[in-house]
Amino acid sequence: MKPICLPATLDSLDEIGKYVVAATTEAGLDTKAAYGMRLAVDEIATNIITHGYEEAGRSGEINLSGVLSDSSLTMVLEDTGIPFDPRSQAAPDEDDLCLPLEERSIGGLGIFLVLKGVDDFSYEYAEGRNRNILVAKRQSVANS
């Protein structure tokens, strides 16, 4: 798919969502896997916009691309915000998930949903760019 480049603002989340939906449709992912990828990309993009740019007083762009192979759909988000590894946030554990809402911490839910939503997630920082890489196996491969 042709990559897109969008301003790193929350208003771009809608366009990012449309791009992911188009990619997951082309990949033939089932409803659960397609939604998981859309959710994961939304969470990562939100992290980039809020932590990588806005809280750092920066402005910039997010590049999003989708690569389809016989076995998987890979979505890659690239940005020039401050180095930020989403995996540095502690995801809630089983005990946290059972806490009453009034006792829950609001942190870590995003990365939790990322890790639950896709088959593989990785992050790297190179040459001034953050790269978040999300992979969903295509149905025929996932079932084999």
Partner 1 sequence: MAFDAQLAMTDSIAKITLTGSLDASSAPRFKEVIEQAAVQSPSRLVLLMKDLEFLASAGLRVLIFAKQKMGAKVDIYVVGSQGPVLGTLEMSGFHHSVYIQDTYADA
The footprint of partner 1 (CB under 8 A) covers 10-11, 13-14, 17, 31-32, 35-36, 38-39, 42-43, 46, 49-50, 92, 96-102, 104, 106, 109-110, 112-113, 116
Total number of residues shown for the chain: 144
Q: How far is the CB of 48 from partner 1 (least distance, A)?
A: 11
117's tokens: 């939503």
CB-wise, 23 or 49, nearer to partner 1?
Answer: 49
**In whole angstroms, what is the distance from residue 138 CA to residue 51 CA?**
31
Two structure tokens written together for 123: 């992050």
Output 11 or 127, the one with its CB closest to partner 1. Answer: 11
Least Cβ distance, residue 28 to partner 1 (angstroms): 17
Q: Is the dihedral of CA 139, 30, 11, 53 positive or negative?
A: negative
Which residue lies nearer to partner 1 by CB, 29 or 135? Answer: 29
Q: Closer to partner 1 at the Cβ: 71 or 99? A: 99
Where are the alpha helices (H) located in the chain, listed in sequence order? Answer: 13-27, 31-47, 94-97, 109-117, 139-142
* Shortest Å, Cβ 42 to partner 1: 5
Burial of residue 101 (CB within 10 Å: 0-12, 13-18, 19+) is exposed
Rounded to a whole number of angstroms, the minimum distance from the CB of residue 127 to partner 1 is 28
d(CA 40, CA 55): 21
The CB-of-100 to partner 1 minimum distance in angstroms stands at: 5
Pick between residue 51 and residue 67 the one whose CB is nearest to partner 1: 51
